Structure 1
Amino acid sequence: MTEIFPDLIDSICIDYRIVPVPPPIYGQFIYDKEGNNIGIDSTKGTEKQKQEIVNWKRNQEIIVEEIEKDTSKLIVAFNPKIKRSSKDLKEYLEQHFKVTEVFDPKIEGDSTYTIDFKNIPLKGKFEIRDMSEFPKDRYEFWRKKYDFVFSGSVYFTGIQFDKERKFGVLDGGFSCGRHCGMGVRIYIKKVNDKWMIDKIDNTSVS
């Protein structure tokens, strides 16, 4: 986990400020016989709608340019206590890497471990802070006005390994709001005695 942590943060965490708002409608709504909207006919777009699209694109470019000039660190909340995934990831490990045997540790009691993330140097613009520094109430967690650029929260589960400890899989996710975020499944492999990310699949989106 220590070796892949910087790449996990860069791959999963996002700067929500550059996520584009939905573009204006271009065209005319299409309805079925029951009055349900089933699509948009873009061949019937108006000049006014076309100009709204142009303005939308221009505004998005301006927003991205301004944010890229901002050198502030983006703060991400993280619970350093890593727990086993609530879902058995064995089949995903076998399918992705074609492994035949999966490591099944005989663990008695709590399998949670704590990652010392504060001593892991990150590469990009994100800075990780312990979840305990943030409000416990979920509403206040997202609504509070912080004196820093708060980007969201990230989590990872424990890693499921193959028997030879050459491949692994874990789940993770990033939340940028109460109804904003995504879940991912991360496949990792060992290359020249160093762990690296092989692939990341999206498992959910909000």
Structure 2
Amino acid sequence: MTTKQTFIIISIFLFLISCDKKQTDLEFERSVANEIFPALLDSVFYDTRLTPPPPPPPPPNSEWSDSTAIKWDESKMIADYEKRKAELEKDTTILVIAIVDSTYRIDKRAKKELIDFYKDFAIELDTISIEKPYKINLTDLKHADKFKLKYRSELPATSKVWKGDYDFHLSGITGFSRIQFDKSKNYGVLKSSFGCGSLCGFSALVFIRKVKGKWIIDKVMVTGIS
């Protein structure tokens, strides 16, 4: 075998190893996203059927000064709220959550926040590229029995999605980004969002870490709200 042939074979071998590593990295990331999803959905979900009691109104013909001086009997509202909450906990209606079909991109801010959030551990960012989104497989996402998942693309585009005449209750739209890990792959951050109406929703950074072999959510930091 000539030197040239040997070089070609070695190059092909190294290329295949590189491809396998990239695939392995993506599979690892997807497994983490799938593992954390039930806790993520529980963290961002907001049931629009349960409206919290409103804040007390300002006193008539007066300026805002000391809100503690406002006399406001909210006992009935709180009682009604707790009653409705108890009813919904027993309700067997399946709540449909629309999942954005593919992962979001993650920005530089998220990477900086990851380092800042876990600064006590002096972590370093993993340099594996996470620019390219991937298609989310709904069958891989575990969730509570009260939820049913649909792809966002199955529903009307833009704000028309909230005006659709469905034979189910659309309870929200959510999604998540690629995960930025640290080099040890014990810490990470992803972006997520939850929409509950045309002017109802929020976006957040979700900080995760591995504890005794299991991934947990450390904090959901809201970055935008409407």
TM-score by length of structure 2 reads: 0.74
Query: What is the match of residue 191 of structure 2?
Result: 171
8 Å CA contact retained: 2:204, 2:220:
yes
Q: Give the direction of change, closer, same or farther, for the CA distance of 1:17–1:40 in structure 2 (3 Å limit).
A: farther
Structure 2 Cα separation of the partners of residues 41 and 190 of structure 1: 43
Query: What is the match of residue 113 of structure 1?
Result: 134
8 Å CA contact retained: 2:101, 2:153:
no
Structure 1 residue 129 displacement after superposition = 1.0
Structure 1 residue 146 displacement after superposition = 2.0
Count, aligned residues: 192
Structure 1 residue 75 displacement after superposition = 0.8
Structure number having the greater helix percentage: 2
Structure 1 residue 43 displacement after superposition = 3.8
Asked if residue 130 in structure 1 is aligned to residue 151 in structure 2, the reply is yes
Structure number having the greater strand percentage: 1
Asked if residue 85 in structure 1 is aligned to residue 117 in structure 2, the reply is no
Question: Structure 1 stretches of 5 or more lacking a match?
Answer: 32-37
Residues 31-70 of structure 1 correspond to what in structure 2 (within 5 A)?
31=63, 38-39=64-65, 43=69, 45=71, 50=73, 53-70=74-91
Asked if residue 3 in structure 1 is aligned to residue 20 in structure 2, the reply is no
Query: Aligned to 2:125, which of 77, 99, 102?
Result: 102
Structure 1 Cα separation of the partners of residues 61 and 115 of structure 2: 46
Letter in 2 for 1:80: D
Identity of aligned residues (%): 34
Asked if residue 150 in structure 1 is aligned to residue 170 in structure 2, the reply is yes
8 Å CA contact retained: 1:24, 1:56:
no
Structure 1 Cα separation of the partners of residues 176 and 137 of structure 2: 14
Q: Give the direction of change, closer, same or farther, for the CA distance of 1:29–1:204 in structure 2 (3 Å limit).
A: farther
Structure 2 Cα separation of the partners of residues 82 and 187 of structure 1: 16
8 Å CA contact retained: 1:85, 1:157:
yes
Letter in 2 for 1:105: I
Structure 1 residue 121 displacement after superposition = 2.5
Structure 2 Cα separation of the partners of residues 179 and 128 of structure 1: 22
Letter in 1 for 2:49: R
Letter in 2 for 1:61: E
| Cα shift readout 1:135-157 (whole Å, capped 9, x = no counterpart) | 11x23211223211211101211
| Cα shift readout 1:57-100 (whole Å, capped 9, x = no counterpart) | 33323322332221112111111311322443221111111234
TM-score by length of structure 1 reads: 0.80
Structure 1 residue 164 displacement after superposition = 1.7
Q: Give the direction of change, closer, same or farther, for the CA distance of 1:101–1:141 in structure 2 (3 Å limit).
A: same
SS state at 1:25 partner: coil
Structure 2 Cα separation of the partners of residues 187 and 58 of structure 1: 35
Query: Aligned to 1:17, which of 49, 63, 66?
Result: 49
SS state at 1:142 partner: helix
Q: Which moved more, 1:76-85 or 1:96-105?
A: 96-105
Larger Cα Rg: Structure 1 or Structure 2? 2
